[in-house]
Structure 1
Amino acid sequence: MTPTPEQGARAWLGAALGVLATWAALLALSGLIVGTRWLVVAGAAVLVVGATTALTRALTRRWWVPTAAGAAVAVVGLVLRYGAPPGRPQFLPDLDALRRAWATAQQGVAVVNDSFVPMPDVRPGEMLVVVGAVAVLLLVDAAVLALRVPALAGAPLLALWVPAVVLGFPAGATAVFWTATAYLALLAYGAAPLHVHAGRAPRAVVAAVTAAALAGLTVVAGPPLMDAPGWASVSLPTFGSGAVGPLELSDDLDLRDSLGQRSGQVVLTYRVVDPTAGPDAAADDPGADDDAAGAPGPEDADDDATGPPVPEDAGDDAAAAPAVDARLVGPLRAFTLATFDGRLWERTDSDRLTDWDPALLLSSDPALRGVPPSPEAGTLAQVDVSVGALRERRLPLSTFARTLTVEGAWAYDQQRDEVVGERATREGLTYAMQVQVPSLSAADLRGAEVGVPEDAELYTAVPATQHRDDIAALAAELTADAQGPYEQALALQTWLRSIANFTYDTRVPPARSSDAVWDFLEDRRGYCVQFATAMAIMARTLDIPSRVGVGFLPGERNRDGEYVVTGRLAHAWPELYFDGQGWVRFEPTPASQTGPPPVWADPFAATTATDQVPEDDLDAVEPGAAPSAAPTAQPSTPPSSVDDASTPWVPVAVGTAVGTVLLLGAGALVLVARRRRASAASPEHAWTLLRRELARADLRWSDSDSPRAAVRRVRTTLEERTGVPLAGAPLAALEHLATAVEQARYAPTPAPVRPGELDAWRLAVRAGVDEAVASSTARRREQVTAR
C-alpha cells in the first residue's frame, strides 16, 4: 500500500524534529574531530536540506518527492561548495566541479584512513561529515514523515554514534542526552493521534506513571548493578571505557587492538620505606613531598615507566646509595607472557605451583631464590600494598627478588616468578614485600652472556609469520656494530625509543599484512604493547631469550606518603634473560611517554640534567615538573590539493589582480617554506636536519646509534677522511645538540632549548665539517701541484 505522507502544520513540526534530532546526533562526532567548523557547516547543510523537504512536502502528496528534492539540493550544494575552483566561487555546477568535488571526497577518505583521533578539521574531512549528516536527515525525514514509522529513525541516528563507540572516543553525557531526547520526541510525535486533544488526560496519566516507574527503578537497581563483579571489567590493551567496577588485566594481548579509554580507578596503594632506617623512616623520608614517581597524564598514562632515580654511572658502581622509593622498586609485575603467534600473546596456566617461606626471597634468578634478603646483596625496600578495585589472580610484585607475606590461598610459580591465587584479589586485601634491589649496571650486563632459562625453547621461539625473515634482517642490521647480547639489546631499545623513528599513539593503524610486528615496524606507530613485542621478537631473532611483562607502573605519591596506582598505569615491557642476572627489564617505549629507562639500560644515566642546560634557560625549568603526557608527535594528515579556506561568496572583479595576488602569495609561501626548512623546532628535528646535511658530506651513523655514539662516529669518520679532527666550537656544538637529543629521549623532564640555539649548534657543526673538508681538499691540491 502506498504510504500517506504527513501534511500541514504537523508535517512542519515533524520536519523540525528531524532536523533537531540530526543536530543532536552530530554531537556524537565531537570527540573524534578537532574544532567546531565542521559542526557549523554540517548543521547549516542539515537545516537547508530539512527546509527543502518541508517546502516540497507542502506542495505535493507523493511520499518520495520531498526526499528526492532534498537529495538533489544536497548534491548541488556539495558540488558548489567543495567543487568550486580554489579562490573563486561557482554558481552553477558543471562536470569539472563534479570531478573536483569527487577528488575532495577521495581526499577525505584518505584523511580518515591516515589520521589518528582526534582528526584535524580539514575541508575534505568536513565534506564527509556533511554527506553523512545530510544522509541521516533524509533517512530520518523519510521514516517519520513519508513512511510514518518514527521508530525506524533510530537506526540512522545511531549510525552517527557508531564511529565514536567503535573507536572508544564517546562524546559524553550531553550528546547522549540530547540524542535520546530528540529520538523520544520523534516517537512521541508518531504516537500522538491526528487530533491532539483526543485522550489528553489518560495520556498524561500514563506518561507520568511511566516516568515515575523508570526513575524509581533507576534509583533502586542502579547501585547494586554498579557494584556487581565484572560490571565494568576491562583488559589490557583495550581497557574499557568507564571507571565503574573492578579492573582485570587481560591474559591475551592482541597487537591489532587499539588502546581505548583507560580506567581512572585506584587499583593499588602502597608505601615504600627503608627497613634499615628504623620505624620513623617514613616520617623522615626526604622524598615525602608530592613528587611524581612516574605519574601519568590523563591520556597517555599507560606508558609512564620509571627506573631507579639516582643517576648511576652506566659503567661504574653507584657513588651513593639510591633513595628508597617507588622508582627504585620499579613497576609491579602481575604476570609474564611467552607464547606469541605473530599477532596475539597467549597464556596457559602452570601446574607447577609450590608454597614458599615468607622470610625467603622469591626470584627468577635461581641463585637468589630461597635465600634471606641481605643489605650486602642490594638495597632493601619494605613495600606494604593495599588492593583497591583490582580483580586479578596474580599478585602485582616487584620485578626484583622479594619476600612476600599475604593471607589466603596463594601459590608460587617458580618458572614465571609469579604468585597465583585460587581466587582473584579483593578490595582491602593487603600484602607486604621486602624487595632486594641489586646494584645492577651496564658494566654488569656488558660482560654477561645469553642465559638459558627453564623451558628455553618457549622464550626463543619466533613465529613463522609472513615477514619473519624481514624482522630478523632488520634486527641484524640494527645490531651489526654491537658487541655481545647486552649491546644488541641496547641498540634495539635505542632505535625503538627514538621519537625520530617511532610515534607513540594509542590508535593502531589498519593491518597491512598478516604479521602484526612487521606492520608496526612499517607504520612506526603504537603504544607499549607494540613496542614491547617488537623488541622481544627482534631479540629472539638474535637468540636472546625474551618475554613480555604486564603490570602497573609505580604511580604518584600523595600527601600522606602513599603511592597511588590507577588503571591508567597498566603497562607492558620486554624482559631479556642474561646468564647470572636472570630476567632483566628494558624499556623501548619512547621517552616522552615513559621517562628514563632502567638505569642499567640508560645511556644517559651518567649525566645529570643540570650539566646540560644552557645557563640562559636554567630558570625556565620548573622544579618537580612531571614527565610530559602529550603524544610524541601530532598525527599527520596527507597534504590536500583543495584549498582549506572557506570559499568566497563575492566574485573577484579584476582577474589580473587575482593573478598578481596569487603570484605574490606563492612567492611568500616559498620564502616561508625555505625559512621553516632551515629552522629546527625541536632537538630531534635539529638532529634529523644535521644528519641529513652531514650525509651529503658522507658522514653517517646508524639508527641504532645513541647520540653519543653518533658523535664519536662523526669525529672518527671526519678525521679518517680529512686528517682534520673536529674540535673547538663545532665539537662543543655537536655535543650540546647530542645532549639535548638525549634529554628529549631519556630525561623525564627535558630542559627547554630555544630553536635559535638548536640552529646555531647545527650551523656551527656544519661550518666545522665544511672547514675540515675544505682544508683537506686544499691540502690535496697543494700536493698535486707540488708533484
Structure 2
Amino acid sequence: MSSSDDSSRTRRGGEWLLTLALLVALLAALMPVIGVVKPGGWLLGSVVIATLVLAAGYGARRLRLPAVAVSLIEAAVWVAMMTAVFFRDTALLWVIPTPETIRAVPPLFEDAMDEIILGAAPLEDTVPLAFLIVGSMGLLTIIVDHVVLTARMPLLASIGIVAVSLIPAIAVPREVDVVAFVFLAVAILFLIRVETRSRERPLERDAERTAGVPATALGIGAIAVVVAVVATPLLPQPLMRAGTGLGGGPGIDATLQLGDDLRRPEQIEVLRVRSNAPSPPYLRATTLSRFEGGVWEPDRVRTVPLDSEFGLGSVSIAEDVRLAEYTTDVEVMSLASVWLPVPYPAVEVTGLDGRWAAVPYNRTVISQSGTTQGQAYTVVSNQARPTLEQIRSYNAGGPELRDETTQVPPETPEIVTELAAEVTAGATNDYDRLIAMQRWFRGGEFRYSLEAPVEEGFDGSGAEAVAEFLERRQGYCIHFASAFALMARTLHMPTRIVIGYLPGVSTTDSVDDQVVYSVSSSLLHAWPEVYFDNAGWIPFEPTAGLGVPTSFSPAASLPGETDDPNSATPGATPSPTPSSEQGPNGPLDPRDEALPGTPLGTTNPLPMLGVVLLILFVLALPFLARELRRRQLTLAARGGDAAAAWLIVQDAAIDAGIAVPASETPRAFAQRLIDQHGAPADDMYTLVVAIERASYAPAGGRDYWMGDAAMDAATAVRAQLLAAAPPARRILAVIAPRSLIVRPGSVYAGGAPATR
C-alpha cells in the first residue's frame, strides 16, 4: 500500500473522529438549557438535527465536494427536518417548504419569544420553544461545522460554543453547574486535540520526543478546569446580576427568587415617582397566578397594543362603589426590564417611547421592543374605594376568574390548611377572614428577615417553603405573600401574587407641589391580591414591618362623596413606614434605612477591584495562551522536532500579516520571506534543511538532528518578521495574536487551502 493511500486513510479517519468530537461539544453546550427549559421533545430534536447535519457534512466531504456545496447540503438537511417536524401539514411531501410554510414561521417564533419573556424558569416544553431551540441548534451546527472542518479554526468555534452555553446562565442566574462545565471543558479540549491530530502528517517521529505533547496538553487542560471550578465561587460578584437587567440597569425577577436582589448591599436608585394620590402608590410589574406546589409562575395571557381600544380600558366594578382617579408620573433612573412599573389599576399610560403592549387581564404593561431604561411616563389609575360595609358584603370570587387562581396543590402541607382555619375561625365574611390573616402575620409573631431563611437552607416560595416559614415564622416578602395567598386559597378564595416596587422614600425635590419619591432597587417587593366580586382585585400587605396594612373606612366616616385624606388608603396605596418607627421587632422596614438626601448605600471597592482584575486577566488571556504555545513549541524544537521550529516561523508570519498558504513548499515560502520581508537568509536555509531532513530522512535516524540550530534560527527569523511589521501589527501580535485562531495553510491564512 502506498504512502499516499495511508495518508488519505488517516485524514478520513481523523475527519470522522473530528466530526464526532464536534457533536460531543455541541451536546455539552446544550446541557445548561436543561436548567431553563424542562426536558422534552426539544432535547431529542436538538440531538437528532445536530447528528443529521454533521452526518450530511461528513458524507459530502467524502465525495470531495466544495465547501460551499457541503454547507448547502447541510442547510437543506436542516430545512427538511424543521419542515417535517414543525410544518409538515403545510409542506410538499412533508419536507419541502411552501409559501404557507414560510408564513407560519414568524408567528411561531413570536410565540416562543413571548414564552421566554413572560415565562418563569424552568419553562414548559412547548412547540414554539422546541421550534426555537431545535432550529437554533441546527444553525449553530452548520456554522461550527464550517469553522472547524472547512476553515480549520477549532479555537474560534470553541469560543462560539462556550458563548452559546453561557446564554442560559445569563438569562437565569444560578449556581455554577460543575458537571456541565467540566463536560464542556473536556469536550472542547477533545475537539481541539482531535483537530490538531487530523492536520498532522503521518511523520514517523521518535516516540520518546512526541509522547509528552498530548500529556502536556491534557495536563494544562485539567489544571485549567480545576482552577476554574475552584476559583469561580471565590470571584467577587458584579454589582448587578447579568440575568436580571438587560441594557444598563437592574431588572425585575418574575420568578419570585428575589432573595439575592434584596440581600444585595448596594442600593441603586431605579425610579423617581410623584403622584397626586394621598400617599405614594405601589408600582406593579407583573402577576403570578399559577401555582402547582413548586413555584409561582407568571401569568401567560393575551397582550394587545397599548394604544388600542382593547388595551387597559375602564375599571369594571359595582355602580355604587366609588372610584378615585389619580395621576402618577414615573421616571426610570436605572431599570432595564420588559415590564413597566405602573400603579394599579392603570387605565391610561402616556409618554412612552417604543412599542408597548397592555395585558388587560392584570392591567400590566410590557415592552414589545427594548426595555424600560430611560423612559419617563404618566399613568392614570382609577382605584376602587368601597366602604367597609360594602367590602364585607362581597364574596371573594367571581364567575369569570381563571381556574388557576383557586388551584391548591394536592401535596400542600396540612399546617397551611390548619392555620388558615384557626386564624380565621371567628370571622363571618371573606374580608374579615383576610383581615384576620393580615393582622396575624403583622401582629408580632412573625419577624422580617433576609438572612434567616438562607441560613436555614430555604429560600423559595413553594408549598414546602411556606410550611417551613409558618413553623419558623421569619422570612421576607416572598414568604409572607406566598403563605397568605396559599392560605386564602385553602379558604376557597382566588388569589395571585404581584411583583413590583414598594413606595419610595421622599426626597427634598417637588414638582407642581408634588413630592418626588426615590425608589431603590432594594424596594423590589411581592404582595398578594384577592379577587372580590363587585370590587375586583384587592391588594393586601401581610409582610411584617412593611407599609400600611389594607383597610377600608366605614361609610359614616366619609364626608359626603369626597375622599377623606385622614382615612387609611386601602390596598394598593399603603405608604411606607418610616424607618424610625419601631415595631415589635425593631425597625419596621430594614430596607429603608437610607435617609432622604443621602447616598442609597456605601460602595465596597473590593468587588469592583475584583471585577477590574478579572477583566484585565481576560484581556491578557490571548497573550498568555500565545506564550504558552510558543514555549511548548520551543521545548519540542529544542528536543529535535523540526516541525515545531518551522511552526514558530509560520505563526510569526501569520501574526505579522504574512500569507502562509498550504500550496507553497518550504523552500518557496522561505525564499519569499527572504525577498519580501527581510528574513535572515542563513537562518531560513537552516530551517528549510531541518524540515526537509525531518520529512525525508530515514525513520529513527539521529544523524540529522538539528534541534538547537533549528530553534536558534526560528527565534532569529521570528524576531526579524515582527520587527519589520508595522507598529499596529506588532501590538496586535502581542495582545491579540492571529495565530491562536488562524492555522497555517487554512483559508484565513492566505492563499488557497490545501488540496485533498
Q: Which TM-score band applies after superposition, normalised by the shorter structure?
A: 0.3 to 0.5
State the TM-score, normalized to the length of structure 2. 0.39
Relative contact order (C-alpha < 8 Å, sep 6+): which is higher? 1
State the TM-score, normalized to the length of structure 1. 0.37
